[in-house]
Chains A and B, each alone.
Chain A
Amino acid sequence: MPKLPNPVDFAVPVFILLIVIEMAWARRKAPQKYEPRDTLVSLAFGLGSTVAGLLFGGAIYGLMLWLWEHRLATVPWTWWAWVLCFVLDDLLYYLFHRSAHRVRWFWASHVNHHSSQHYNLSTALRQTWTGWLALSFLFKLPLAFAGFHPAMILFCGGVNLIYQFWIHTEAIKRFPRWFEAVMNTPSHHRVHHATNPRYLDSNYAGVFIVWDRMFGTFVPEVDEEPIRYGIVRQLGTFNLLYAVFHEWIGIAKDVWHAPWQHKLSYLWRPPGWTHDGSRDTSDTIRARWQARQMAEPAE
């Protein structure tokens, strides 16, 4: 089996070039789409995540290899296996991503990607440092156990990540209907990054938006409503370390103060859940918004 390179390494110069182009676009069209300090934080997230990958990637790859050695079947190193691996990896990405928004332990890591109030190509590089702690790699393991070689799985995951870079932009409005129907696009992913109640917890897709359509989590972008980006409780700081660890700190505090019978719930229940109902989850926010919509007749 050939040793495969990390495709992301080759994509990085293109990422940088596209960010420069988007900055030039923002200067002409909407300077507020970028904020220099926010950009620096996002890019520092990206750099830190590559360091975390170097530190923990070897162990995760080792675990995948071990599982592959105890595999259920052997998937050959052939073209259809690559296609199948890519599609199944994207399905598992959907599951990972949905869990990352619905389980606080996973969210504590994934929140990093959402904590910018801007939506531009630098936001795409706002990747977590603590994915290993959140156990995100668990979602990669089934394919290795099924018989796909870990090198193939990680290569497909890299291509998936590269695809997701360019959809983090407001510079592209919409693609032809057939493309929007099948693929994840800037329009679909803007919805995913929105904090507007109508959009919360939707469009989890990586490459193929069909997963959201299949599993009932698809929400289309509504042109009449401006999108607000970020998280429900915006950070309000450009402090990088706080941005990286704030949700982990929040979990630790909540578990410490919670009554014994509720401690574990702060780990696995949705973000915002509290035993006394003192905070909002995305469900309660959306319910309140829906109630207001029902009460106020459309103008």
Chain B
Amino acid sequence: MEGVWIDLAKFGVSLVSILALAWLARWLDLGGDERIRSADQARFLANAAIEGFEPVDIALDKAGIGALLRDAQGRQMLLRRHGAAWVARLLDERTEARLDRGFLTIGTGEKTFGAVTLHLGEAAGVWAAGLRRLPTAGAKRA
């Protein structure tokens, strides 16, 4: 029984320690404020995310929190900020593509990845149309 109490005490101390470390990371303002500053940077990030993805068409979010990219094969990629890093998904089947003037909300079909709203300005409509032309998930499987 004593061993159980020792284990519980260790657990409690560890829990407090990890919360303190996470708080310290926030207090020290770690993580920074990563933004995509240029098409070249978006191109680099896209190629880093998927080897061989060479975009020929890029739409950057006005605030630099994400981008939509298309390569010569017509593949479309969503790139978005994830904390202090970047994540990407190939958009190869039709999911959410909601247009609200210059804003385009894009879903990936992944609940944990979530939907992303990008401010693309005038380009938003063209990209929305492109995303709506993608095959549906059912059609793709068939």
Task: Point out residues on A near B: beta carbons under 8 Å.
Answer: 9, 12, 16, 19-20, 23-24, 26-27, 31-40, 43-44, 46-47, 50-51, 54, 117-118, 122, 195, 197, 228, 230, 234-239, 242, 246, 280, 285, 288-289, 292
Chain A contact residues, majority secondary structure: helix
Residues on B with C-beta less than 8 A from A246 are: 112
Taking the closest CB of chain B, its distance from the CB of A17, in whole angstroms, is 11
B25 within 8 A of A: yes
B137 within 8 A of A: no
Residues on A with C-beta less than 8 A from B122 are: none
Taking a contact as CB atoms under 8 Å apart, the answer to whether A234 and B82 are in contact is yes
Q: A34-B25, A228-B48 are in contact. Are A9 and B84 (CB under 8 A)?
A: no
Number of B residues near A (Cβ < 8 Å) is: 35
B10 within 8 A of A: yes
Q: A51-B11, A234-B87, A288-B51 are in contact. Are A32 and B34 (CB under 8 A)?
A: yes
Q: A35-B84, A234-B85 are in contact. Are A24 and B52 (CB under 8 A)?
A: no
Highest count of chain A CB atoms <10 Å: which of B25, B26, B110: B25
Interface string of B5-35 (1 = CB under 8 A from A): 0010011001101110110111011111010
Task: Jot down 27 A-B pairs with beta carbons below 8 A, ordered by A.
Answer: A9-B10, A23-B24, A23-B25, A24-B28, A26-B30, A27-B29, A27-B30, A31-B30, A31-B32, A32-B34, A32-B84, A36-B30, A37-B83, A38-B84, A39-B25, A39-B30, A40-B18, A40-B25, A46-B14, A50-B10, A118-B84, A118-B85, A236-B114, A246-B112, A280-B51, A285-B51, A288-B51
Bound-state Cα–Cα, A289 to B50, Å: 10
Residues on B with C-beta less than 8 A from A230 are: 85
Taking a contact as CB atoms under 8 Å apart, the answer to whether B83 and A54 are in contact is no
Residues on B with C-beta less than 8 A from A239 are: 112
Within 8 A of A (CB), among B27-83: 28-32, 34, 48-49, 51-52, 80, 82-83
Bound-state Cα–Cα, A234 to B14, Å: 28
Interface string of B79-95 (1 = CB under 8 A from A): 01011110111000000
Bound-state Cα–Cα, A71 to B105, Å: 63
Question: Smallest CB-CB separation from A43: which chain B residue?
Answer: B18
Taking the closest CB of chain B, its distance from the CB of A75, in whole angstroms, is 28
Taking the closest CB of chain A, its distance from the CB of B96, in whole angstroms, is 16
Bound-state Cα–Cα, A292 to B53, Å: 11
Residues on A with C-beta less than 8 A from B113 are: 236-237
Question: Smallest CB-CB separation from A291: which chain B residue?
Answer: B52
Taking the closest CB of chain B, its distance from the CB of A243, in whole angstroms, is 9
Task: Point out residues on B near A: beta carbons under 8 Å.
Answer: 7, 10-11, 14-15, 17-19, 21-22, 24-26, 28-32, 34, 48-49, 51-52, 80, 82-85, 87-89, 110, 112-114
Question: Smallest CB-CB separation from B28: which chain A residue?
Answer: A27
Question: Smallest CB-CB separation from B31: which chain A residue?
Answer: A35
Taking a contact as CB atoms under 8 Å apart, the answer to whether B85 and A20 are in contact is no
Bound-state Cα–Cα, A292 to B112, Å: 33
Q: A12-B14, A23-B28, A36-B31 are in contact. List 16 more A-B contacts (CB 8 A).
A: A23-B30, A26-B28, A34-B28, A34-B84, A35-B30, A39-B30, A40-B22, A46-B14, A47-B18, A51-B11, A118-B84, A197-B51, A236-B113, A246-B112, A285-B51, A289-B52
Residues on B with C-beta less than 8 A from A51 are: 11
Taking the closest CB of chain B, its distance from the CB of A46, in whole angstroms, is 7
Taking a contact as CB atoms under 8 Å apart, the answer to whether B85 and A117 are in contact is yes
Question: Smallest CB-CB separation from B3: which chain A residue?
Answer: A54
Bound-state Cα–Cα, A46 to B80, Å: 28
Question: Smallest CB-CB separation from B44: which chain A residue?
Answer: A226
Highest count of chain A CB atoms <10 Å: which of B21, B85, B88: B21
Taking a contact as CB atoms under 8 Å apart, the answer to whether B85 and A35 are in contact is yes
Contact of B21 among A27, A118, A122 (CB under 8 A): A122
Taking the closest CB of chain A, its distance from the CB of B86, in whole angstroms, is 8
Bound-state Cα–Cα, A235 to B82, Å: 9
Taking a contact as CB atoms under 8 Å apart, the answer to whether A36 and B49 are in contact is no
Contact of B82 among A24, A117, A228 (CB under 8 A): A117
Q: A16-B21, A54-B7, A238-B83 are in contact. Are A289 and B26 (CB under 8 A)?
A: no
